[in-house]
Amino acid sequence: MPLFWLLLAAFILAPCACFLLLAVSPRLFSQGDQWFTLTYLHQALTGATAVAIVNSLWVSSAAAALGIAIGFPIAWLASRTTLPGRRFIPAAMWLVLLLPSWLPALGWERIVQPDGVMYRLGLDWPWVTHLIMGPFGVVLLLGLRCVPFSYLAITAAMAGLGQEFEDAARVHGASRLQAMRLIIPILAPAIWSALAIGFAESISDFGVAATLAYNSNFTLATYQLYADIGNFPPSFPLAAGMAWLLVAAVAIPLALQARALRGRSYAVLSGRTRQAVRREFGRWGKIGATGAVALFFVVALGVPGFGAVSASLLADYGGSFSLTWANYHALFAQTNLAAAAGGGLLSPLERSMVYGIITATITVIGGFIAARLLSKRRTKATGALDFLLLASVALPGVVFGAGYIFAYNLPIASRLGINLYQTATLLVIAYTASSLPTNARVLVGAVSQLQPSLQDAARAHGAGAITAWARGVLPVVSRPIVMAWLFTFCGVFLELPLSQLLYQPGSPPASIAIEDNLSNYHFGVGMAQSVLAVAFALALVGAVLGGYRLLAPAGWRRIGGTVRG
């Protein structure tokens, strides 16, 4: 256990704390003369950085609002009506959630860019280009990413909201609309959560900031922070100042959400909650509702998917829409381009796959240990762990990455023999450290439901510690563990900000290789890599889920599953 705490301190607490401390005390890290100064925080609030922060604030607010405006109706349609195809909505939402934000952004870009798919199809619509390649497009894409958070939060709340509240309103004189207006505030916790998470996710997003927003000359805070480190000479204290602002921007809505809900209970579940009745639509209502939901998925997945796939089948230059497999051939052939990309165009995908598998495995083990600690009786130590993990969830990936660069470049690291900077090891450690907080949060729900008696019963009936765990505990948490593993893998496989800041030169992970190809105008190959990457990821998810279904004992699969009949 001390080793666990040491690792947490070394890989989560220390890098982030050092980096944030740097903004107010540069001399502590030999980055300036002052022991204490607010200059860098002040600088972060002026000039280009201030513009970036303001852009991020309003864009994130608008995106969170858009997320709830779209997510709420879809959640209501999925949980309270007989909408055709509603069974597919959860899976499609997870797909929207798990796709890294830069992928749809690139898909859209490749459609609307001058020389993009739209123009090659003969659609000369510059106004669409201007609309998407600007603040509107950025809000749209970030807002679409917020939809799954709203959807998941609202459907979870609606699942527990029985029919009685609406019935009670109706029998006491409320019309259908008035009843709905009465019910919506009961969902306030879910709505607040969705808004806070949507805002936090949007403001800490790097994928859209580094692609669509950057290419549209619309600077967001995360990209500005990256640029502060990437420019020569790098200004770590200024970047740290920006990090403070970002962390505050993420933490404030989360804190406000907690404050708004403190002392209030919106508990609606009781043992006798009557399941809500699904509303039947009329013919036109059904067509309208299905069309609206389909439109969301077309915009969120279909258009960027079409953009990516079609761009991967087009030659880089030329004005016609003639399809070719040349880009995919290039992926599998050893060409100069491939050699420049570091040993073949497929190797970044393989590399990311390996990184993802290693990271997901370590993270699930660490996450399980953390979840176990969090679900035990609260002590000062577990309270500190809880705070550390919660604070880390609110930490944008780019701040995390900047903290790593800074901390592992300090002379003291070298003096201690820790020469991890620009190694794959540090990248995997950073992936793990950034995934662990979310992973622990995902697992803590399942772990806190574990009855200690399960393991105790196995021990009392003669099983050793490991057997007792394997027989008494593992079956109960196997499904959440598999899901947490997949969740982490998908997050890491095409991760961008940490990869951008920490990858080992000459060994780029998939997201960097794709970005490099696109920025060097190898659009076709870059998009072919993207398409293959998504296909790889989906194949792995399918293989893991299929493997679990085939190999896990029937009893394991029953736990937490749906019982038919």
Number of residues that bind other proteins (CB under 8 A): 27
> Considering the complex, what minimum distance in angstroms separates the CB of residue 455 from other proteins?
34
Rule CB under 8 A: say whether 261 interacts with other proteins.
no
Closer residue to other proteins, CB minimum distance, 194 or 428: 194
For the segment 143-162, give every residue that binds other proteins (CB under 8 A). Answer: 162
- For residue 399, the one-letter residue type is V
User: CB under 8 A: which stretch of 168-176, 282-290, 298-306, 551-559 binds other proteins?
Assistant: 168-176
Rule CB under 8 A: say whether 171 interacts with other proteins.
yes
Rule CB under 8 A: say whether 281 interacts with other proteins.
no
Residue 24 tokens read as 């107010």
5, 94, 128, 167: residue in contact with other proteins (rule CB under 8 A): 167
10, 170, 409, 422: residue in contact with other proteins (rule CB under 8 A): 170
Rule CB under 8 A: say whether 180 interacts with other proteins.
no
> Considering the complex, what minimum distance in angstroms separates the CB of residue 393 from other proteins?
27
Rule CB under 8 A: say whether 471 interacts with other proteins.
no
2, 114, 122, 185: residue in contact with other proteins (rule CB under 8 A): 185
Rule CB under 8 A: say whether 265 interacts with other proteins.
yes
Contact 493, 357 (CB under 8 A): no
Closer residue to other proteins, CB minimum distance, 169 or 481: 169
Residue 224 CB-half CA count within 13 A: 29
Rule CB under 8 A: say whether 564 interacts with other proteins.
no
**Neighbouring residues of 386: CB distance < 8 A, sequence distance ≥ 6:** 374, 378
264, 380, 415, 564: residue in contact with other proteins (rule CB under 8 A): 264
CA dist 259 and 153 (Å) reads 18
> Considering the complex, what minimum distance in angstroms separates the CB of residue 286 from other proteins?
17
Helices (H), 317-423: 326-332, 336-340, 347-375, 380-393, 397-407, 411-415
Closer residue to other proteins, CB minimum distance, 123 or 184: 184
> Considering the complex, what minimum distance in angstroms separates the CB of residue 175 from other proteins?
6
Contact 407, 18 (CB under 8 A): yes
507: left (phi over 0), alpha (psi -120 to 50) or beta: beta
94, 136, 214, 266: residue in contact with other proteins (rule CB under 8 A): 266
Rule CB under 8 A: say whether 268 interacts with other proteins.
yes
CA dist 148 and 98 (Å) reads 10
Contact 97, 291 (CB under 8 A): no
> Considering the complex, what minimum distance in angstroms separates the CB of residue 70 from other proteins?
24
Closer residue to other proteins, CB minimum distance, 170 or 459: 170
Closer residue to other proteins, CB minimum distance, 169 or 360: 169
115, 164, 386, 516: residue in contact with other proteins (rule CB under 8 A): 164
* DSSP-derived secondary structure for 34-70: -SS--HHHHHHTSHHHHHHHHHHHHHHHHHHHHHHHH
Rule CB under 8 A: say whether 174 interacts with other proteins.
yes
Closer residue to other proteins, CB minimum distance, 159 or 188: 188
Closest CA to 361 of 456, 492, 463, 252: 492
97, 153, 169, 362: residue in contact with other proteins (rule CB under 8 A): 169
Residues 231, 200, 206, 346: is their CA dihedral positive or negative?
positive
Rule CB under 8 A: say whether 114 interacts with other proteins.
no
Closest CA to 108 of 310, 411, 280, 285: 310
From first CA to last CA, the distance across the chain in angstroms is: 45
46, 127, 172, 284: residue in contact with other proteins (rule CB under 8 A): 172
Rule CB under 8 A: say whether 65 interacts with other proteins.
no
114, 173, 233, 417: residue in contact with other proteins (rule CB under 8 A): 173
CA dist 87 and 81 (Å) reads 12
Torsions phi, psi of 29, nearest 5? -120, 25
Rule CB under 8 A: say whether 378 interacts with other proteins.
no
Closer residue to other proteins, CB minimum distance, 272 or 377: 272
Closer residue to other proteins, CB minimum distance, 134 or 162: 162
Closer residue to other proteins, CB minimum distance, 87 or 272: 272
What count of other Cβ atoms lies within 10 Å of the Cβ of residue 259? 9
Tell me how far CA of residue 164 lies from CA of 38, 160, 264, 466, in angstroms: 55, 11, 20, 47
What count of other Cβ atoms lies within 10 Å of the Cβ of residue 556? 18
> Considering the complex, what minimum distance in angstroms separates the CB of residue 81 from other proteins?
15
Contact 133, 208 (CB under 8 A): no
Rule CB under 8 A: say whether 386 interacts with other proteins.
no
- For residue 217, the one-letter residue type is N
Binding site residues, other proteins, CB under 8 A: 162-165, 167-176, 178, 182, 185-186, 188, 264-268, 270, 272-273
